[in-house]
Amino acid sequence: MVRTANAFNVSFVHIVGKRDWNRRGAMVTDKYLHVVHHPTVADFAIWCRENKTPIIGIDNLPVSVQLENYPLPEKCVLFFGQEGAGMSDEAVDICEVVLAIQQYGSTRSMNASAAGAIAMYAWAMQHLNPRLPQ
């Protein structure tokens, strides 16, 4: 996820929870963005509120809205659940909205890194993609 965040010029990656993250997969890209650890969801929510940054959840839940046509705010945090367990009820509660990535196969989920790449690409298409001449 950190390496993907670097590819989209993300400013911050937030790690939420008691456990640290495995830096090996980032291939040193964490040196080019801020990685902030929050021990709890509540601590993360406080940081976002203090920094006026809306939290956009990404998970396939009954409350989710489709990502494909949703207008993402230019300044926001994309919040992904834990692989396997997904987003906790506490995490869902702090989100402005939870978005789902449309899936067409028999599985209901994909790994967090793949979901992160899709969601960051969707954000980039709305905010970084230069407009083509008409």
Give the pLDDT confidence score for residue 20 in this predicted structure.
63
Give the pLDDT confidence score for residue 134 in this predicted structure.
45
Integer Cα distance of 104 and 85 in angstroms: 21
Give the pLDDT confidence score for residue 72 in this predicted structure.
97
- With respect to residue 32, please indicate whether it lies within any of the assigned structural domains: yes
* 26 class by beta-carbon count within 10 Å (0-12 exposed, 13-18 middle, 19+ buried): buried
Integer Cα distance of 12 and 32 in angstroms: 10
Q: The domain containing residue 62 runs over which residues?
A: 2-127
- With respect to residue 45, please indicate whether it lies within any of the assigned structural domains: yes
Place of tokens 């456990």: 19
- Residues listed for the chain: 134
- With respect to residue 78, please indicate whether it lies within any of the assigned structural domains: yes
Q: Which helix (H) or strand (E) holds 109?
A: none
Give the CATH number of the domain where residue 24 resides.
3.40.1280.10
Count of the separate structural domains present in the chain: 1
- With respect to residue 118, please indicate whether it lies within any of the assigned structural domains: yes
- With respect to residue 92, please indicate whether it lies within any of the assigned structural domains: yes
- Decide: helix, strand or coil at residue 82: strand
- With respect to residue 133, please indicate whether it lies within any of the assigned structural domains: no
- With respect to residue 132, please indicate whether it lies within any of the assigned structural domains: no
pLDDT in tens, the chain (134 residues): 788 888 888 888 888 987 665 555 545 455 557 788 899 999 999 999 999 999 999 999 999 999 999 999 999 999 998 777 789 999 999 999 999 999 998 887 788 889 999 999 999 999 987 664 54
- With respect to residue 11, please indicate whether it lies within any of the assigned structural domains: yes
Q: What is the pTM of this model?
A: 0.85
